[in-house]
Amino acid sequence: MDKTLEEDFEESSEQTEELFERMSIKVDKGQEPMRIDKFLVQRIENASRNKVQQSIDAGRVLVNSQTVQSNYKIKPQDEIIVYSDKEVPGEKIIPEEMPLNIFYEDEDIMIINKPPGLVVHPASGNYTGTLINGVAHYLLKQNSQLSEENLPRFGLVHRIDKNTSGLMVLAKNAKAVSSLAKQFFNHTIQRQYLALVWGDLVNDSGTIKAHVGRHQRFRKLFDAYPDGEHGKEAITHYKVKERFGYTSLVQCELETGRTHQIRVHMQHIGHPLFNDDTYGGDKIVKGTVFSKYKQFVDNCFEICPRHALHAKTIGFIHPGTKKEVLFDSEVPNDMRLLIEKWRGYVSKK
């Protein structure tokens, strides 16, 4: 039942795309009554009875918008939705002790404030030193009933790029995985990022709508496709917080969560992220090339030696309490100093 990604994950950069996909099935009018687990095994390619039952038990199968038991008998015209996780091929988790900035934790979820430079999840050829390796060690130490053999996937329902800092939510049990997966898929998760981008945006706010998909020539890059002929639908809402003449501090809110979405969308409208060496922000994009200004920009690159993007807030319906929660983090030191430097530059002009 678990599906693999159609394209390999990059080894050097983690993804922002949600890790769950959805299959919808409408039962035919002439369908005879049948247990739902048996029905899904017949309808889903490469599905096993055990995998189907696990998904049902985890609440990842809905019939007419309600969870059911494995012995539920389907009826004609039933509408079935199956959420399945897109498991990374060759996945291997090696627990490693490392410092974790746990922003919040309860029995259902963990909110982690990820530092820049830390890859989120092991991938082919990169099985150690990731956030999930650290979480595995933490959970083993916390729960004596767990072992390396029965470690869960920690409910990793979304990712942020290696060099993006900020808040991530991880689920600690099947109930939380199911709840968060549905919220991510339905685009009801609140996610606000803070970015320093090149240029002085014309409008104070706006919405960018352009599909995001693999670059047609350079497969490790992503690109925006405004006509929607390639990639997946992507929507980013932005609001200018401060203007520094040659750069702008922008709040970005994700309606969808595609790989590199903010970075690709801002490049698409001519405002790449400051010091984004993948999408053209690691050189002087706006302004002169005179020595004093160039030296100032080079100093800024040294202060924040990565693309200037921080996942500042995340909000959702808590899987356990069913109440809305919102978590907000401070901008990390490198971006804070970068913003202050540009603020000082403007004040001296």
Active-site annotation, residues: 161
The answer for 44, left when phi > 0, alpha when psi is -120 to 50, beta otherwise, is beta
Specify the DSSP class assigned to residue 289: -
Q: Distance from first CA to last CA of the chain, Å, rounded? A: 61
Q: CA-CA distances (angstroms) from residue 83 to 62, 79, 184, 223, 319?
A: 9, 13, 11, 27, 16
Q: Whole-angstrom Cα distance, residue 128 to residue 305?
A: 23
State phi, psi for 196 to the nearest 5 degrees: -100, 120
Pairing of strands 66-67, 205-209: unpaired
Q: What is the largest CA-CA distance in the chain?
A: 78
Q: CA-CA distances (angstroms) from residue 171 to 100, 106, 253, 283, 338?
A: 16, 10, 22, 39, 33
173 contacts: CB under 8 Å, gap ≥ 6: 107, 108, 152, 155
Q: Whole-angstrom Cα distance, residue 65 to residue 106?
A: 27
Specify the DSSP class assigned to residue 232: B
Whether residue 170 contacts residue 109, with contact meaning beta carbons closer than 8 Å, is answered with: yes
